[in-house]
Chains A and B, each alone.
Chain A
Amino acid sequence: MADLAAPVLDVRGLTTVFHTRQGEIHAVSAVSFALKRGEVLGVVGESGSGKSVTMMSLVGLLPTPPAEVRAGQVMLGTRDLLQMSAKDLSDVRGAKVGFVFQDPMTSLNPVFTVENQICEPLTRHMGLSKAQARARAVELLELVGIPDAAKRVKFYPHQFSGGMRQRVMIAIALACEPDLLIADEPTTALDVTIQAQILELMKDLQKKLGMAIIWITHDLGVIAGIADRVMVMYGGQVVEHAPVDQIFHNPQHPYTRALLRTIPTITGKREARLSVIEGQPPIMTQAPKACPFGARCAHHFARCDAENPQRRPLDSLPLGQGHDVACHWSAGVSHA
């Protein structure tokens, strides 16, 4: 599905720290990934693993200070987003990169109609006239499956249900036909039956429009249904990255393995007892010198404390295209 052209997005060594009264928090440490057109990259991790901060760093959405994007390169096409002026960056946001956030109620403006909010990027970035933008707004609402769009476009956000609001968010994100869509937990606040509707809609839209999607979630079930590749984050780092089938059927990192074991399923064998990952995720108060998962890892050994493992490819493909893992232990494990 993805062609062999240059990646839509190429992120190298992205590092973000927060300056707090307690000192620096290393939220994102040397994260690298790339995305081709038409690809869906799932980003999984628990709260505090740095997945949202990574995506917000990409397009300068973090307040600085306290945040500081310390190092890295974010190539969108041929331009490095981290080197851009604030004004250029705001031309990129909304036009080239669309966003769908977790909670549509707090990310839509309650005092403007939906029409107003969809038209904003259209007139701002696409140079449409007001009348053209209004017509396009109705089309977009139809595209995301809102019935009676011509009438509903005049509604305020509170007049929509949660699922419908999320559809509005998606319509806004897609308004300028972005190359890249960043979806940060877009279905987490929704009920399962509504979640299913939104997932089907996104798959459908991606087939039609062919944009690349970064889908951030903590729900491995959602990832299994939508992602082509998966990046597992822990303690601000990428610990494993692989095509979706590899992640679920041949996970290498002890964290990925443990995470997959802790979630019960509705089919398959019902375990008498859930397996757990003891302990708490770390708070990264300094640049990582040891493996962040070390303290909770069942396979922990001396080297894990001495040296932070680097990502290492497990196949002949270059790093970030096939299956790679950042673990000292899994080095000695055969592909089972």
Chain B
Amino acid sequence: MWPAIGQRGSVMRNAIAPDLVQVDGLKMYFPVYSGVLRRHSGDIKAVDDVSFTIRAGETLGLVGESGCGKSTLGRAVLRLYEPTAGRVVIDGQDIARLSTEALRKKRPTMQMVFQDPQASLNPRMSLSSIIGEPLLEHTALTTAQRQDRIYELMDQVGLNRRFANRFPHEFSGGQRQRIGIARALALNPKFIVCDEPIAALDVSIQAQVVNLLEDLQDKLGLTYLFISHDLSMVRHIADRVAVMYLGRIVELSPRDDLYARPLHPYAEALLSAVNEPNPERARTRTRILLKGDLPSPANPPKGCNFCTRCPKVFDRCLTEKPALVQVEPGREVACHLFNTLKPTAGSTGGFHTQDDFQQGVTL
């Protein structure tokens, strides 16, 4: 049994659901050209060898600081970028290798909600043409059928039908985000990447949008990759959480386990830095203050990516990159502290531990 069962219905129902999304060894490098001849002199390793799965109906939270590669990962998963390497299997098809035409046919199953609803909606299109555009592109509905579907979608996200002919600038931030969500839902997707969908909204509006996303998930059985830097909101919405640092996942744990007892030193520092709306706790708690800033992803440290800021760094961290391995049932961590076995060759040492644990775990 999967250790963490969420409180919401969809998760219960899908406790043994199959994986809808499988990401395997995904790399997204952006080449750097320099010198007079613009020679390829290096790569920005925005996403560096990332693997995870998301079960149908599940919400995977993806957290990390700006520049850690979480948005790039979200886009690469939907092949909005051409990944450098790796597999992205969504609903049984490796979309990283699909031809352009096959990918276009696949697009309806996977959609995205963007951070800034101001920038992601065309200011010259009315609300109904924005929501109707995917229908025009991917379906053979008649005009009347399409209009019905547009109204249905507007009802679903709580937009008044009277607004159908208005333009994006006439709406508030929260309403614009609802338009973005309606557009993403138009083609009945199975999987939606939400890239910081609430970051640009006011606190009182954030809760409205998050509740809407949850209602839609329950109703339509959606699967989310929820990218955010807001750890409190991720605790609310996600079933499992992946913590990213400098292009790599450092910890992937069920939500309650992560927040109760983060294992990776970075996850621990990140959680300790969150400002809680509680003055007593603010006075008494001890923060793990990380020194310095994120290293450049063009030139990551030789060993563990976190070794330059880690309070628990030791010799091995400086020379060897830790692999993401299962250290407890359902919990994967990329840290030498939790991987005491000496690797025999490459990263196989890690898999040994994983096998041991998997006897007790049915995925």
A192 with B274: CB separation less than 8 A: yes
Q: Is B229 an interface residue (CB 8 A)?
A: yes
A276 with B204: CB separation less than 8 A: yes
Inter-chain contacts of A259 with B (CB < 8 A):
203-204
Q: Is B14 an interface residue (CB 8 A)?
A: no
Cα-based distance from A219 to B203 in the complex (angstroms): 8
Inter-chain contacts of A266 with B (CB < 8 A):
231-232, 235, 259, 271, 274, 276
A221 with B274: CB separation less than 8 A: yes
Q: Is A139 an interface residue (CB 8 A)?
A: no
Cα-based distance from A66 to B265 in the complex (angstroms): 51
Min CB distance, B214 to chain A, in Å?
7
Inter-chain contacts of B203 with A (CB < 8 A):
46, 218, 220, 259, 262-263
Cα-based distance from A162 to B231 in the complex (angstroms): 20
Among B39-47, B130-138, B287-295, the one that faces the other chain is: B287-295
Inter-chain contacts of A224 with B (CB < 8 A):
275-279, 281-282
B235 with A270: CB separation less than 8 A: yes
> Which A238-268 residues sit within 8 Å CB-CB of chain B?
244-245, 248, 258-260, 262-267
Q: Is A275 an interface residue (CB 8 A)?
A: yes
Q: Is B352 an interface residue (CB 8 A)?
A: no
> Which A85-123 residues sit within 8 Å CB-CB of chain B?
none
Known: A192-B231, A224-B279, A245-B279. A271 touches B293 (CB 8 A): no
Number of interface residues of A (CB under 8 A): 47
Among A14-22, A194-202, A302-310, A323-331, the one that faces the other chain is: A194-202
B273 with A196: CB separation less than 8 A: yes
Min CB distance, B288 to chain A, in Å?
8
B-facing mask of A219-236, CB < 8 A → 1, else 0?
A: 111111110000000000
Cα-based distance from A258 to B281 in the complex (angstroms): 21
Cα-based distance from A220 to B202 in the complex (angstroms): 12
A281 with B274: CB separation less than 8 A: no
Cα-based distance from A324 to B205 in the complex (angstroms): 26
A274 with B207: CB separation less than 8 A: yes
A191 with B66: CB separation less than 8 A: yes
Q: Is A161 an interface residue (CB 8 A)?
A: yes
B7 with A193: CB separation less than 8 A: no
Interface centre among B174, B206, B210, B278 (most CB of A within 10 A): B278
Cα-based distance from A196 to B235 in the complex (angstroms): 20
Cα-based distance from A136 to B114 in the complex (angstroms): 46
A277 with B204: CB separation less than 8 A: yes
Known: A244-B279, A270-B7. A192 touches B202 (CB 8 A): no
30 contacting pairs across A/B (C-beta < 8 A): A46-B202, A161-B293, A163-B293, A191-B65, A192-B65, A192-B229, A192-B270, A196-B290, A197-B289, A218-B202, A220-B203, A221-B274, A224-B279, A224-B281, A225-B275, A225-B279, A225-B282, A245-B280, A260-B277, A262-B206, A265-B232, A265-B277, A266-B231, A270-B7, A273-B211, A274-B207, A274-B211, A278-B208, A281-B202, A281-B204
* Further 6 A-B residue pairs, CB within 8 A, beyond A193-B290, A276-B207: A192-B273, A196-B289, A197-B289, A224-B278, A263-B203, A276-B211
Lowest 6 A-B CB distances belong to which pairs? Answer: A221-B275, A191-B65, A225-B282, A196-B273, A274-B207, A277-B204
